[in-house]
Amino acid sequence: AQSVAQPEDQVNVAEGNPLTVKCTYSVSGNPYLFWYVQYPNRGLQFLLKYITGDNLVKGSYGFEAEFNKSQTSFHLKKPSALVSDSALYFCAVRDGGASGGGADGLTFGKGTHLIIQP
Amino acid sequence: EPEVTQTPSHQVTQMGQEVILRCVPISNHLYFYWYRQILGQKVEFLVSFYNNEISEKSEIFDDQFSVERPDGSNFTLKIRSTKLEDSAMYFCASTGTRANTGELFFGEGSRLTVL
């Protein structure tokens, strides 16, 4: 079974400061990891993903995330937060299986509210 | 920019009634999904669909649920006899790349309220 933990319900950051939203995961095969963002009354928007290769992946709106296999983590980061980054952020994982097959369905974390204060 | 569209945006129904939620995925996409989000809770996978058949479904997707791609553009979720606990936001999603590695494109959701 696959699972995702986002330990913080809410993260508060001052505008211009760096931000981190934490995520840890558990899968039996290779982890395919994703971050999505949800603005109020909207669907989820893809930010970035890790499938293979470089542990540091860069995505939309200046966000990046670092895959850490030993810590089973995929924390979302941004060097300088904007007020417009305020939203609900979801980490998600698919089990890629031992040789690239694996699950279709994404398992999402419960989400972290990111609040950027002016 | 192409997008996934969903109708209706909000539906209110009585317990026991049938509901059909409709989705138009991005036109060249091949893999289709339904997810749901109960208010204040996490997003949960319901079902994936590829090549005109269900490829995977979760425990939530019981016999009361069905999906169909009736005409090559629409992708529908039917709930045969709604229960109070079916009240949620239902999101349709699609992807054009291989299912496991592709990012999903989500619609804005259909809010279902069961009274």
Lowest mean pLDDT among A18-22, A27-31, A65-69: A27-31
Confidence (pLDDT) at A13: 97
For residues A100 and B100, the answer to whether their CB atoms sit within 8 Å is: yes
Confidence (pLDDT) at A98: 55
Average pLDDT, chain A: 92
Quick one: average pLDDT of A7-31? 95
Which of A61, A30, A31 minimizes the C-alpha distance to A48? A61
φ/ψ of A62, rounded to 5, equals 80, 5
pLDDT above 90 for A2: no
At A115, the pLDDT band (50, 70, 90 cuts) reads: very high
For tokens 């936001």, what's the residue?
A: B89
Quick one: average pLDDT of A74-90? 97
pLDDT in tens, A27-53: 988 899 999 999 987 889 999 999 988
For residue B14, give its domain range: 5-114
CB contact under 8 A, B41 and A110: yes
- Residue B1 at interface with chain A, using a CB cutoff of 8 Å: no
pLDDT above 90 for A71: yes
Confidence (pLDDT) at B63: 94
Number of domains, chain B:
1
Optimal mutation site among A6, A42, A99, A106, interface B, most CBs of chain B within 10 A:
A106
Considering the segment(s) A3-117 as one domain, its CATH architecture is Sandwich (2.60)
Confidence (pLDDT) at A74: 98
**Which residue type is seen at B51?**
N
For residues A21 and A11, the answer to whether their CB atoms sit within 8 Å is: yes
pLDDT above 60 for A85: yes
Q: Which residues pair with A21 in a beta bridge?
A: A76
Comparing alpha-carbon positions, the chain B residue that sits nearest to A95 is B100
Q: Would you kindly state where each structural domain of chain A is located, as residue ranges?
A: 3-117
Count the Cβ atoms, other than its own, within 10 Å of residue B68: 13
Average pLDDT, chain B: 91
DSSP assignment letter at B104: P
CB contact under 8 A, B33 and A51: no
- Residue A104 at interface with chain B, using a CB cutoff of 8 Å: yes
Would you give per-residue pLDDT tens digits along chain B (115 residues)?
Answer: 778 999 999 999 999 999 999 999 998 888 999 999 998 888 999 999 988 899 899 999 999 999 999 887 899 999 999 999 999 999 999 988 766 677 899 999 999 999 9
For residues B23 and B108, the answer to whether their CB atoms sit within 8 Å is: no
Per CB-CB distance under 8 Å, the chain B contacts of A90 are 42-43
Distance from CA of A80 to the nearest CA of B (A): 25
* Cα→Cα distances B91→A78, B12, B88, Å: 27, 16, 10
Confidence (pLDDT) at B42: 85
Confidence (pLDDT) at B51: 86
Q: Which CATH number does the domain housing residue B46 bear?
A: 2.60.40.10
- Number of A–B residue contacts, CB under 8 Å: 64
Confidence (pLDDT) at A17: 97
Q: Which long-range contacts (CB under 8 A, 24 or more apart) does A23-26 make?
A: A23/A73, A23/A74, A23/A75, A23/A76, A23/A91, A23/A109, A24/A71, A24/A72, A24/A73, A24/A74, A25/A72, A25/A73, A25/A74, A25/A91, A25/A93, A26/A1, A26/A2, A26/A72
- Round to whole Å and give the CA distance between A116 and A101: 39
